[in-house]
Amino acid sequence: MTGVYSRDDWQKHYEEDDLRWDLGETAPPFVRWWAGWSGGAGRAVVPGCGQGHEVIFLAARGWEVTAVDFAPGAIQRLSARLKAEGREARLLNQDFFTLDASHDAFYDLLLEQTFFCAIHPGQRPRYVDTARRILKPGGRIVGLFYETGEAGGPPFDTRRADILEHFSGCFNVQVLEKTPHSAERRRGKEWFAVLEKSEIPSSVGGGDTGRPVVPW
Ligand SMILES: C[S@@+](CC[C@H](N)C(=O)[O-])C[C@H]1O[C@@H](n2cnc3c(N)ncnc32)[C@H](O)[C@@H]1O
């Protein structure tokens, strides 16, 4: 697949301290969502976790978190931050799409934050299949999906129609709304979604676009 941003491409960002996507905090819409959350904690997975603000946030709220990122620099940074904050999480330095069968039906929650837009659109069906595989029945994706309005990427533009195209066949769309609570630089550009794994087998589509990097 052409136009895929490789592991080495991502790793270079960590080596050069160029984390232009990093908000420096847990994304505000998640903070608001959890303020109203009445369910308990469980097992969560955060794919493409980066420095892991959301990993630490969930760990601090009692979740058993697995954080996955194939760039070693991301895992090193998150490891140091967890240590500094006295929190624990399982850190996996590997490709999210190659999680083995021990992860199957293991998670209650997949937290999506600028990972879906980081992968090439042609990989979106793999995202959906992996999410379905590793979530428990009734498990949920709680996520922010980034509508850049720009061609190319990463970040790759994610419109409402893209989310519905990929998820509505195999997830119940419980919430899908433009959040008014985004960090300033993403205001008006983020879809907040709660997607519950349905019993229907996956049926997913695909997409394609070019490579140039656009501002986060
Ligand atoms: C845009 S960054 C987002 C990081 C973090 N979620 C945040 O919002 O700060 C995307 C991250 O996904 C990771 N990534 C991209 N493709 C991946 C894959 N197939 N498996 C695991 N990690 C991946 C990159 O290394 C990078 O750290």
Residue range 177-205: average pLDDT? 87
Q: Mapping DSSP to helix (H, G, I), strand (E, B) and coil, where does residue 47 land?
A: strand
CA nearest ligand 1 atom 20, residue: 95
CA nearest ligand 1 atom 16, residue: 119
CA of 198 to the centre of ligand 1 (A): 26
Encoding tokens for residue 204?
Answer: 């997913």
Residue 205 covered by a domain? no
Query: Residue 35: is its pLDDT beyond 70?
Result: yes
CA nearest ligand 1 atom 9, residue: 22
Residue range 45-49: average pLDDT? 98
Place of tokens 């630490």: 56
d(CA 57, CA 36): 15
Residue 83 covered by a domain? yes
Residue 151 covered by a domain? yes
CA of 48 to the centre of ligand 1 (A): 3
Q: Calculate the dihedral angle through the C-alpha atoms of 190, 196, 202, 208, rounding to the nearest 10 degrees.
A: 0
Residue 50 CB–ligand 1 contact under 6 Å = yes
Residue 143 CB–ligand 1 contact under 6 Å = no
Distance in angstroms between the alpha carbons of the first and the last residue of the chain = 23
Among residues 146, 138, 205, which one has the least CA distance to residue 171?
138
Residue 215 covered by a domain? no
CA of 56 to the centre of ligand 1 (A): 16
What's residue 173's pLDDT?
Answer: 97
Q: What is the pLDDT of residues 3-23, one digit of tens each?
A: 679 999 999 999 999 999 999
Query: Residue 208: is its pLDDT beyond 50?
Result: no
What is the atom index within ligand 1 of the atom nearest the CA of 53? 9
DSSP assignment, residue 39? S
What's residue 4's pLDDT?
Answer: 79
CATH number, domain containing residue 175: 3.40.50.150
What's residue 201's pLDDT?
Answer: 58
CA nearest ligand 1 atom 4, residue: 50
Residue 5 covered by a domain? no
Which of 146-155, 161-170, 196-205 has the weakest average pLDDT?
196-205
Residue 192 CB–ligand 1 contact under 6 Å = no
Number of structural domains found in the chain: 1
Residue 116 CB–ligand 1 contact under 6 Å = no
Residue 210 covered by a domain? no
Residue 116 covered by a domain? yes
Residues in contact with 35: Cβ distance below 8 Å, sequence separation at least 6, in sequence order: none
Structural domain span for residue 151: 24-197
CA of 10 to the centre of ligand 1 (A): 8
Residue 11 covered by a domain? no
- Per cent of the chain over pLDDT 70 is 91
Residue 14 CB–ligand 1 contact under 6 Å = no
Helices (H) and strands (E) in the chain, counts: 6, 7
What is the atom index within ligand 1 of the atom nearest the CA of 117? 1
Residue 57 CB–ligand 1 contact under 6 Å = no
